Structures are given as C-alpha cells and as structure tokens.
Amino acid sequence: MRYINFEFIILKMRILITGFTGFVSEYFLEYLNTVEKNCEVLGLARTHPSFDVSNFDNLKIKFHKIDLLNKQEVENIIQNFKPSYILHLASVSSVAQSWLTPYDSFVNNTNIFLNIIEQIRVSKLQCRILSVGSSEEYGEVAEHQLPLTEDSKIVALSPYAVARISQEMLSKIYADGYNMDIVMTRSFNHIGARQKDKFVISSFAKQLVQLSKTSSTRKKITTGNLNIVRDFLDVRDVVKAYYLLLKKGTKGEVYNICSGKGTLLKDIIQTMSSTLDLEIEVELNPTLVRPNENKKIIGSYNKINSHLGWEPTVTIENSLKSIIEYWQDKLA
Amino acid sequence: MRYINFEFIILKMRILITGFTGFVSEYFLEYLNTVEKNCEVLGLARTHPSFDVSNFDNLKIKFHKIDLLNKQEVENIIQNFKPSYILHLASVSSVAQSWLTPYDSFVNNTNIFLNIIEQIRVSKLQCRILSVGSSEEYGEVAEHQLPLTEDSKIVALSPYAVARISQEMLSKIYADGYNMDIVMTRSFNHIGARQKDKFVISSFAKQLVQLSKTSSTRKKITTGNLNIVRDFLDVRDVVKAYYLLLKKGTKGEVYNICSGKGTLLKDIIQTMSSTLDLEIEVELNPTLVRPNENKKIIGSYNKINSHLGWEPTVTIENSLKSIIEYWQDKLA
C-alpha cells in the first residue's frame, strides 16, 4: 500500500510594483482590487505613496522605500518577497528633464531595470516581468509611417529614448537568451485624473479650471505648440492592458499601448474650454516648444488586440471630463 | 599708444587613454610616439600596464589605476588632467563572457563610457572623444547584406552587443544634442602579436607553435567552428585609424574599422600550419561553437577611406607571421 501526499498549493499572485507612488500605480491597484482576490503586493518607490494602501480590500499591500539603483537592496527585496509578477513602472519619464540630466535619466531608467532583471536571473525565480517602455522609442516619425506598429523603425532622439531603447534591448536579450519571462510595452501618452500637472493635458485642465474661477475678462492660457497630434490613452485602459500582458502576454514580445487615435492638442483645449463654458486666449510660450518635435504621432494597438482582445474603452471626452472634475475638486 | 599682449599658446595634445593596459593601447602608444612630439598621455586602467611607459621618447606618460565605474574618481581625473583628446578603449569585450556576466558587461561598457562623457559635458571641456564600438552591433547578417556599411541594420544578439549599441546611442545624443565632439567606430576583429590567447587567432597560433615544438606524431589542435568567415584587421592599422579619427574624424559620425576582406578561419589555420611546416589534425570542441553564429562577416571601410584616406596596409599573411613570431619568442 502506498500513501500519496497531495499538496494543495494555492497559487497566490505575489506582485512587485516599482514606481509605486506614481499615477499609473494607483489606478493599477484599483483595477487589481476588482479582478484579484488574495493578492500580495509589495510596492517600491523612493517616496511614500500619497494614497491609502488600506483602501484595497482584496489586496494585501506592503510598501518599501528604496532607491532601485542600490543593487544590494534590490537583491534583498527580491529574495525576501519572491515575486511571481513584477510590474516595472519606475521611471524618470520626462523627455525635457532627460535633456537637463541625461545621466540620471539613463541610470534611473536602464540601470534600475537591469538591477531587477539581473536579480531575477541569478536567483532563478519564476517571475513574469512587464517592462514598460515608451512611444518615444520611435523617434522621428513621418506621416506616411502612421499608425506606428511594433515593427516601425526605432531611433533615439533624446536621452530618455536612449534609456528606453536600452531597456527594451536588455529585456529582449534576457527573454530570448536566458529564457526569462519578460513582456515589453511601448506605451503612448497616458491621461487621467490625478496626473501631475507637469504633463500637458493635466496642465491645460488645471489652468482652465483656475480661469473658470476668476472674474477676469481676459482669460489667457500659456501653452507650447498646439498644432501637434498625439495618441492619448486613458490611464484606466492602460492599467487593464498591463494586467492582461502580465497574465497573458507572450514572452519576449513588445506591445504598443495606445488609443489608435490622433487628437490635436488645440482640439483638446477647445473641448475642455467648452465643458467649462470658457472663452480663452492662447499664448505660446516658446520655452515649451520642443525642437524637432514630431507633428503627428499615432500608434496601432492591433497586436495586443489580436493577441489578447484588448481595446480602449474610455473615450477622450470621458477622459477629459474626469480630468476637469479632478481639478475642480482639487482646486475647490 | 596701445600695448598688445601676444600670448603664445602651445597646443599640446593631452590625451586620456582608457583600457590603457590592453593590447590596442600599447600599439597606439607606439604609433603616437612616431607621429607626435611633446604629447602628454594619461593612461587609465584597473591594472598596471605590463609594458614600460618610459619606452616612448616623445610621450610624457602617466598612469592612474582606476575603476571607471567610480563616477567621483572619473570626475577628479578629468578635472585634474583636462584632456584635449580621449581614446576610450576600456571594455569587457568578450561576447561569450557577456553571456556569463551580462550585468558586468553592460555597466563596464555602457556606464563607464557614460561616466566619462557626462563629466566632459558638465565641465564644458573642449575635448575630442573616440568611442570605440564593435561589429557585433550588426547582429545577424545575411550574405546578401555584405559588405556591412555604417547604414546596415543594427540588432543586438548578445548582452555585449546591447552594451555597445547603448554606448553608440549615447554618443550620438551627446554629439548631436549637446554639440559634444564625439566620433564613433564599429571595429571589426583585431589581430596582432601580443594579443591574449582568449582571442581566436592568437589561440590558434599559440597551439600551433606549441605543437611545432613537440615530437609527438599526432598533432592535434582544438577549435570551434572553422567554416566561418571574419574580417580581420591588423592592430597596427587599427591604431592608425583611431589616430586619424581623433585628429580628423567628423563629429557625430560612426566609422567601420575593418579590412574589407573576409578570411575563412580554416584558411588561417592552413596558412599558419604551412609557415610552421606542420601537419595537423583539427578537433572540434563543441563548447567553443557559438549558437546562431554568423557564417560570414565582412565590413566596408569605404566611409573612412573617402573621408580620411585611411586604408589597411598590413596583409593578413604579414599579420599571421608576426603573431607566430610572437608566440615562438614567448614560448622559447
């Protein structure tokens, strides 16, 4: 007679989230809380989150303050937590800032990522990693190349783009060469309530809401070039895509995360002004105009759609409305 | 009446050489000694050079032991020496090694280079930098794409290639975006006397010279795949190209450094065996066969030839002869 031991292993999702304090992370937690039960989350960031981690009933969240450049600390964290998933959101993601501090841009994008994947490699942990990249990797884009697909040409035109392309090359080599479970994105512009006002749409919305509260007759807003078209995706759709890619993306593949639609910045100002019943003047601030800026950027989400069925669900009007409501609330 | 002060400035070449202890560096010094007078050299490396720095009459050479990953020390060195030229030879240049230690390969190629160029940028020193890259940046090469030109496609197929492509992207951004005086190379296989026997041709030569000294009837040498074609350039031609690029290369441009000729590894063994009057057996060591190795790699030196008139002067036969003589001398 033989005794057989059945071991029941409960496969809990143990997810490490870097850049935990950021805009995208909070939305990701909100979504995760609706789709997962019994999920352990370890958040990493350089500063404490401003949101309350006890808000999410289905998640058991811990936070650890860390500089991801500290290789030894990254090792300790990963050894102790043993994540089954990593959502790598940490980044110094401003192109303009990368021109001011190119060294910091490189190491705080590429090297922090390398510290993480190298630790997963040497510790032989089974872990799915989502490497978040950027549409900036596409560099100069001619109109006839639109919409951009994952096969479009990659050219670095800023220190930030160099860092992101390097990160993606490392991802690819670690996935193909070491059989590591890494999936990559090239994420286009995100928008949504709570986004910092250093980002263009949030900055516009904040200025417009402020103007709507003044009695001044001359209502003026300061902007960069408004005759450019960008592909804006609501952060609520972004985090759904990230979750899907973590769960079902194909190892070693890169996916555009975008709306597939181009919107003129001028039209966004127009829509938001109408919502607020505002008549405004626009003043161009030359320091906000980037040299050699692409006129038009639109991505194709065909790949993630055909692989995983993902598609955007939030309209731009809905996004803009929620952004305005956020600033109205915040500035009340 | 006005007095005019004439200030006579003697423009001395002050050259910083990283990877100073290496094979290429010593040949560069030999060449520099024949073409420059009154030249100050600061050599940097992790280990002391094995050659005598007082051998070079026209050069005033100092050496400093340093780990180029130490950003603070790099700053101090550059601030004190104030180089007018930097020849950046330091590298962990083995593809095979990069698969074993991808983290070290990345930081000891890309980050050490970033430390240097960032310091030149922030200190606003007028300095011409030669960034040495690799033919490995071309990745997988189909025969119809030969010879490889600087416009050929770049694909990273190893951690080493990732590091070199990242270095080149950084060079381009620092040159174009910050107007820094950086010239880049993609250097193909170097050969020459004194090269370490971890490199293929030097390893063959050493084994053959050893066999020529034995009385054994079965003379066997162990190799990887010999049916591959590579573009080998004599190190004496390499250093002339580097000197020319430092003096006259075009800022922001990348140049192939190669012979323009393909040589079958089997033929190299044949030539060296004949020189030594040897009949040998070849034994394949599977661990030396790289997966997905390119069958044939040949570069075009048309660009550096048309810009600067450089062309190879040392024949492969002459190179092989000097390598054999080196090992005969060394193993005597």
Tokens for B26? 């010593």
Lowest mean pLDDT of A112-121, A278-287, B80-89, B228-237, name the range.
A278-287
3-state secondary structure chain A: CCCCCCCCCCCCCEEEEECCCCHHHHHHHHHHHHHCCCEEEEEEECCCCCCCHHHCCCEEEEEEECCCCCHHHHHHHHHHHCCCEEEECCCCCCHHHHHHCHHHHHHHHHHHHHHHHHHHHHHCCCCEEEEEEEHHHHCCCCHHHCCECCCCCCCCCCHHHHHHHHHHHHHHHHHHHHCCCEEEEEECEEECCCCCCCCHHHHHHHHHHHHHCCCCCCCEEEECCCCCEECEEEHHHHHHHHHHHHHHCCCCCEEEECCCCCEEHHHHHHHHHHHCCCCCEEEECHHHCCCCCCCECCECCHHHHHHHCCCCCCCHHHHHHHHHHHHHHHCC
Contacts of A157 in chain B (CB under 8 A): 173
Question: How many pairs of residues across A and B have Cβ atoms under 8 Å apart?
Answer: 61
Give alpha helix (H) positions in B36-128. Answer: 71-81, 95-100, 102-106, 112-123
Judged against a pLDDT cut of 80, whether residue B5 lies above it is answered with: no
Nearest to B103 among A102, A114, A172 (CB): A114
Report which residue type is found at A225: N
Structural domains of chain A ordered from first start: 14-191+232-261+298-313 (3.40.50.720), 200-229+262-296+320-330 (3.90.25.10)
Q: Which residues of chain A have pLDDT under 50?
A: 7-8
Contacts of A95 in chain B (CB under 8 A): none
CA dist., res. B230 & res. B266, Å (int): 11
Q: How far is A67 from chain B (nearest CA, A)?
A: 18
Nearest to A99 among B103, B110, B177 (CB): B177
* Torsion angle of C-alpha atoms A183, A189, A195, A196, degrees rounded to 10: 110
Tokens for B31? 């060449």
Sort residue B139 into left (φ over 0), alpha (ψ -120 to 50) or beta.
left
CA A275 to chain centre: 27
Q: Supply the pLDDT for residue A138.
A: 96
Q: Supply the pLDDT for residue B11.
A: 63
Tell which of A72, A114, A121 to mutate to test the B interface (max B CBs under 10 Å).
A114
Q: Tell me if residue B181 falls in helix, strand or coil.
A: coil
- With beta carbons less than 8 A apart as the criterion, state whether A136 and A159 touch: no
What count of other Cβ atoms lies within 10 Å of the Cβ of residue A268?
A: 22
CB-CB under 8 Å, B162 with A156: no
What is the C-alpha R_g of chain A? 21
pLDDT tens digits along B239-297: 999 999 999 999 999 999 999 999 999 999 999 999 999 999 888 888 777 767 789 99
CA dist., res. B209 & res. B212, Å (int): 5
Q: Supply the pLDDT for residue A12.
A: 80
Q: With bands split at pLDDT 50, 70 and 90, how would you rate the model's confidence at B210?
A: very high
Nearest C-alpha in A relative to B156: A169
Average pLDDT, whole number, for chain B?
93
Q: What is the DSSP letter of B106?
A: H
User: Nearest 5 degrees, angle CA A275-CA A30-CA A135?
Assistant: 70
Tokens for A259? 């709306």
Report which residue type is found at B123: S
Give helix B112-123 / helix B71-81 axis angle, nearest 10°: 50
Q: How far is A148 from chain B (nearest CA, A)?
A: 19
For chain B, first and last CA: distance in Å?
A: 75
Tokens for A55? 């808000």
Cis peptide before B147 (omega within 30 of 0): yes
Judged against a pLDDT cut of 60, whether residue B9 lies above it is answered with: no
Lowest mean pLDDT of A20-24, A277-281, B73-77, B129-133, name the range.
A277-281
For chain A, first and last CA: distance in Å?
A: 75
Contacts of A99 in chain B (CB under 8 A): 177
CA dist., res. A290 & res. A98, Å (int): 13
Q: What is the DSSP letter of B108?
A: I
Whole-prediction pTM: 0.93
User: Nearest 5 degrees, angle CA A79-CA A14-CA A172?
Assistant: 75
Nearest to B71, CA basis, from B137, B33, B116:
B116
- Asked if the ipTM is above 0.90, the reply is yes
Q: Supply the pLDDT for residue A284.
A: 86
Tokens for A152? 């479009």
Q: Supply the pLDDT for residue A215.
A: 83
Contacts of B69 in chain A (CB under 8 A): none
Nearest to A166 among B158, B166, B172 (CB): B166
Give alpha helix (H) positions in B124-214. Answer: 159-177, 200-212
One-character DSSP codes across B231-261: -EEEHHHHHHHHHHHHHHPPTT-EEEES-S-
Q: Supply the pLDDT for residue B1.
A: 52
Q: Supply the pLDDT for residue B312.
A: 98
pLDDT tens digits along B138-190: 998 999 999 999 999 999 999 999 999 999 999 999 999 999 999 999 999 99
- With beta carbons less than 8 A apart as the criterion, state whether A321 and A258 touch: no
Burial class (CB in 10 A: 0-12, 13-18, 19+), A303: middle
C-alpha neighbours within 13 Å on the C-beta side of residue A278: 27
From residue B226, give the alpha-carbon distance in Å to each of B80, B93, B267, B275, B283. 49, 21, 9, 19, 10
